[in-house]
Structure 1
Amino acid sequence: MQNKLAQPFYPRHGQYADAVVVVPPKEFQFNEQTAGDNEFQTPLSLTTETVQQRAMVEYERLVNGVREAGVTVIEFDYPLSETPTPDAVFPNNWFSTMADGRLITFPMASENRQVEVRPEALSTVLKQAGWAVQGVDTFSQYIAVEKYLESTGAMVMDHHAGVIYAALSQRCDETVLDEYAAHIGYETVPFRTSLPSGQSVYHTNVMMALGEAFCIICDEVIEPTQRRAVIERLMANKDVIHITIEQMNRFCGNVLVVITESGKPVIVLSQSAYEAFHPDQLQRLRQYGELLPIDVTTIEKIGGGSVRCMMAEVFLPRI
């Protein structure tokens, strides 16, 4: 494995990135390979052409909304391959970026999502946009032993505290999680979850989101023996906003805070999530940033992910 980072990874803007990578959904459709453990996916009786047209409209709505808010958006229009990549619109699952200039790639659980991992092409796009990629590290070797860790889908990070919160699942193996955490100098808070079906939450970032001073979490899905410890850890430095399973299913946990060029935090969430939050919860969130709801209904229903999944944070230094 690559050398451990000389210092823990602390972004230059603290918890928040000032730029995100997005990927157009030009092959978007219901992904049979991921549906087995993603209960948020719902097939719709629409033609592939209609689905992709609607998804593209929603993608452009996100890009335009985030840009108009004052946040840098880098579009990675990836090259097509022989294997379609229906979930490419969710790039935050296969890579992360580091403040020291490293791009890190991760082991994806589904074969058609493994095809999304294109570090060379992404590095070129990032460099052209003015960000310094000074090396690529990978954990993809774990695919050979069927162990997976799907980046910031599987991990929710508190950069101020140097802590990774992670719901263990098929897509979040504890061995890989521990190695990654040691690699960047962070501590882990792993826990197990159970949905009403008995299945685990497929990605941590659909049940929780972190800001510098707040946390959104559906803690009722955490195993009872671990729930109290997780919440107490969060309450040590966060305003904890509890959401229900119903709100989680409306993607209230799939929220990302980004920062504008002027240093203003913007809380990006879907229209579905915005409408599912209670008025008092929205009032609490407004203390921590401007709310930016975006309608991505088709992508949510068919893809089983929302706006946070559609944005991969850029913490790289500028050239």
Structure 2
Amino acid sequence: MLQTTNTILMIRPVNFRMNEQTAINNYFQEALDIKNAEINSKAQIEFDDLVVKLRGVGVNVIVEHDDKSMDTPDSIFPNNWVSFHENGDVGLYPMFAANRRRERRDDILTNLEKEGFQINNIIDYTSAEDEGFFLEGTGSLLLDRMNSKAYCALSARADEDLFIEFCEDFEYTPVIFKAYQNVDDTRLPIYHTNVMMCLAEQFSVICLDAIDDKKERKQVTKSLKADGKTIIVISESQMHQFAGNMLQVKGENDQRYLVMSKAAHDSLTSKQVADIEVFCPIISSSLETIETCGGGSARCMMAEVFLPKT
């Protein structure tokens, strides 16, 4: 199984703003004292700049445009509602916020098929929303596709039973733990696994300090080491600059790159940068507005497309 892909789906926002429905348990979100139209305009510029940088190194970026009538402020983060797999399977996921459920769009899947991608089977978990259970795609799930392992930090947006169901359906071994952050001197669950951990082919960037339980921390470390991954440890303060929210992609001639925001890049020490660049160059781009209002960063903006071509 491939761990990285050359093809990325990204959704250009038309109504981006701070989503009051997700701010309940996304403690990375902050309000900006500017009008929503200006927030969206700034987010579009940041989005376009990242797309240019990715395409500039040969990444195949498929850009779909959000539908303004849907009022989906977080549509810029498509990896939460869909995942695409090498065997032609597509996963559709139950979302915590009601206004995020409108992000799921059949026309996007149809457009991928028009582009020559093969969809064989749709595995739909969205009915779990009716019972109040959620599993937000590759925000909640970190997939080590090469070693058939899935990592998940449990939270209000990552239900354990649903996660195990996913692992059974897609034939992944589950690695389950809890990850926390300080919020007003209280340890509260981190909403998505992919803000505290990144999995690349040969390495992992992870905030081990977020895993408070020593046994769980040891279990995660042991699992990564068993697969021969180099572990690059980041601090909680670096995690809050989205240094865990990174994605490895393929560019021209199968060159690998690690994609992250400028804030994440700037937070890294020179040694951490050097440790990453042993494996691949870094691509970073300013995502300040998206990070502040959306509480997500570069990895959240990219849905990896592993589907076979017809």
Q: Secondary structure at the match of 2:180?
A: coil
Alignment of 1:187-226 (within 5 A): 187-196=173-182, 197-224=186-213, 225-226=215-216
The residue type paired with residue 72 of structure 2 is T
1:84 aligns with 2:61: no
Q: Measure the CA separation in 1 of the matches of 2:308 and 2:218.
A: 38
Name the residue aligned to 1:27.
Answer: 15
Q: Secondary structure at the match of 1:30?
A: coil
Greater shift, 240-249 or 99-108, is seen at 99-108
1:79 positional shift: 3.3
Q: For 1:63, which of 38, 51, 56 is the aligned residue? A: 51
Greater shift, 50-59 or 225-234, is seen at 225-234
1:80 positional shift: 3.9
Q: For 1:134, which of 110, 120, 132 is the aligned residue? A: 120
Q: For 1:289, which of 259, 268, 280 is the aligned residue? A: 280
Task: Please list the CA deviations of residues 289-312 of structure 1 after superposition, one character each: whole Å capped at 9, or x if unmatched.
Answer: 121011111000110000000000
The number of aligned residues is 305
Whether the 8 Å contact between 2:13 and 2:65 is mirrored in structure 1 is: no
Q: Secondary structure at the match of 2:55?
A: helix
Q: For 1:116, which of 103, 113, 135 is the aligned residue? A: 103
Q: Secondary structure at the match of 1:254?
A: coil
1:25 positional shift: 1.4
Which one has a larger percent helix, Structure 1 or Structure 2?
Answer: 2
1:20 positional shift: 0.4
Alignment of 1:1-319 (within 5 A): 10=1, 14-81=2-69, 83-118=70-105, 120-196=106-182, 197-224=186-213, 225-236=215-226, 237-319=228-310
Task: Please list the CA deviations of residues 82-111 of structure 1 after superposition, one character each: whole Å capped at 9, or x if unmatched.
Answer: x41000000000000111112210000110
Q: Measure the CA separation in 2 of the matches of 1:242 and 1:46.
A: 35
The residue type paired with residue 150 of structure 2 is I
Whether the 8 Å contact between 2:14 and 2:65 is mirrored in structure 1 is: no
Q: Structure 2: 5+ residue runs without aligned partners?
A: none
Q: Measure the CA separation in 2 of the matches of 1:139 and 1:35.
A: 23
Whether the 8 Å contact between 1:76 and 1:125 is mirrored in structure 2 is: no
Q: Secondary structure at the match of 2:12?
A: coil
Q: Measure the CA separation in 1 of the matches of 2:107 and 2:194.
A: 26
Instruction: Give me the CA root mean square deviation.
Output: 1.1
Q: Secondary structure at the match of 1:46?
A: coil
Task: Please list the CA deviations of residues 119-142 of structure 1 after superposition, one character each: whole Å capped at 9, or x if unmatched.
Answer: x21112212222122332200011
Task: Please list the CA deviations of residues 19-51 of structure 1 after superposition, one character each: whole Å capped at 9, or x if unmatched.
Answer: 000001111000000001101001000111110
The residue type paired with residue 204 of structure 2 is C
Distance 1:78-1:302 versus aligned 2 partners, 3 A rule: closer
Q: Measure the CA separation in 2 of the matches of 1:27 and 1:106.
A: 22
1:214 positional shift: 0.4
The residue type paired with residue 196 of structure 2 is M
Q: Measure the CA separation in 2 of the matches of 1:248 and 1:112.
A: 27
Whether the 8 Å contact between 1:97 and 1:104 is mirrored in structure 2 is: yes
Q: Secondary structure at the match of 1:273?
A: helix
Whether the 8 Å contact between 2:14 and 2:66 is mirrored in structure 1 is: no
Identity %: 35
The residue type paired with residue 98 of structure 2 is E
Q: Secondary structure at the match of 1:99?
A: coil
Q: Secondary structure at the match of 1:76?
A: strand
1:226 positional shift: 1.3
